[in-house]
């Protein structure tokens, strides 16, 4: 049986020690290619359809100190392409961590990488977008903003009612999303906020029908039954069906 390659022995002890912790922390995000021409160590994105990578080319020591030569894609937060450079040993862990954090970001759930989520978000936004002429230009008025903030606070406070062993972690994620929405009430246009709210509903729908149902029913109760003046697309198109609105949004999840 062939003995596995000890990749640490390709690196100086100092470098191997520095990279051990970040690699351990993000181990599920990359794969190690043992024999990549031109590299002492080569990490590639664990997504087989991706060309993102981080490679250590060589180590050099001179009068300026211990230098690590590397190449990676993305190069940083601004440059999507691949570039080569070198840095001091004591700065290398920062660069490696930044690359790993970027790979983690790309893997996070997003409307950009999930067609199912995009479909759900589009469906909800079609109902909840505001049809006012200025909905894409200005925010909600002050009283509406207060109502929206109170609604988000209420959801965060009460959504634990549906928490169980299976969805506990997901419910906490949804609560963080709602808190973020709460913070953007005064800084978004009307439809900017409703677009974000539609994404929240889409994420809740994908992860837990109970969570989605809870948020939708509370929203309908607050903004439809209680006589909100928000001009939602569905309401405008179905003005004679307001009594059935809760049923509509409940049966469409």
3-state secondary structure 62-97: ECCEEEEEEEEECCCCCCCCCEEEEEEHHHHHHHHH
DSSP secondary-structure letter at 3?
Answer: P
- Which of 50, 76, 107 is the last residue in one of the domains? 107
Look at residue 153 and tell me if it is in a domain: yes
- Contact at 8 Å (CB) between 162 and 207? no
pTM, rounded to two decimals:
0.57
Q: Are strands 53-62 and 65-73 parallel, antiparallel or unpaired?
A: antiparallel
**Residue 229 C-beta-side C-alpha neighbours within 13 Å:** 7
Q: What is the pLDDT of residues 165-221, one digit of tens each?
A: 888 889 998 999 999 999 999 998 888 899 889 999 999 998 888 898 899 888 877
Look at residue 1 and tell me if it is in a domain: no
Could you tell me if 243 and 135 lie in one domain? yes
- CA dist 55 and 42 (Å) reads 4
- Which of 91, 107, 123 is the last residue in one of the domains? 107
Grade residue 13 by pLDDT with cuts at 50, 70 and 90: very high
Domain count, the chain: 2
Residue 47 domain boundaries:
7-107
* pLDDT score for 219: 84
- Contact at 8 Å (CB) between 149 and 185? yes
Q: What is the pLDDT of residues 157-171, one digit of tens each?
A: 999 999 888 888 899
Task: Answer with the residue of higher pLDDT: 140 or 72.
Answer: 72
Spell out the alpha helix ranges (H) of 86-162: 89-107, 115-128, 142-158
51 token code pair: 């060309």
Could you tell me if 148 and 94 lie in one domain? no
Q: Give the gyration radius of the chain's Cα atoms.
A: 25
Could you tell me if 209 and 235 lie in one domain? yes
């Amino acid at each position: 049986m062939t003995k596995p390659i000890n990749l640490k022995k390709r690196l100086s002890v100092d470098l191997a020690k520095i990279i051990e912790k970040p690699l351990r922390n993000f181990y599920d995000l990359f794969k190690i290619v043992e024999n990549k021409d031109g590299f002492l160590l080569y990490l590639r994105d664990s997504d087989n359809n991706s060309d993102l990578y981080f490679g250590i080319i060589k180590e050099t020591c001179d009068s300026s100190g211990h230098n690590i030569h590397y190449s990676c894609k993305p190069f940083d937060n601004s440059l999507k392409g691949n570039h080569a450079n070198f840095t001091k040993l004591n700065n290398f862990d920062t660069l490696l961590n930044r690359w790993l954090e970027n790979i983690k970001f790309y893997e996070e759930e997003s409307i950009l990488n999930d067609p199912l989520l995009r479909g759900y978000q589009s469906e909800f936004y079609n109902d909840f977008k505001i049809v006012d002429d200025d909905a894409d230009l200005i925010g909600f008025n002050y009283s509406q903003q207060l109502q929206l903030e109170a609604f988000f606070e209420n959801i965060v406070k009460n959504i634990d009612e549906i928490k169980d062993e299976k969805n506990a972690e997901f419910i906490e994620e949804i609560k963080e999303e709602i808190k973020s929405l709460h913070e953007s009430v005064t800084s978004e246009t009307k439809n900017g906020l409703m677009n974000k709210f539609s994404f929240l509903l889409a994420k809740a729908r994908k992860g837990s029908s109970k969570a989605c149902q809870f948020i939708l029913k509370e929203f309908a109760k607050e903004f439809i039954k209680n006589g909100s003046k928000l001009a939602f697309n569905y309401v405008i198109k179905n003005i004679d069906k307001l009594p059935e609105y809760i049923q509509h949004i409940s049966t469409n999840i």
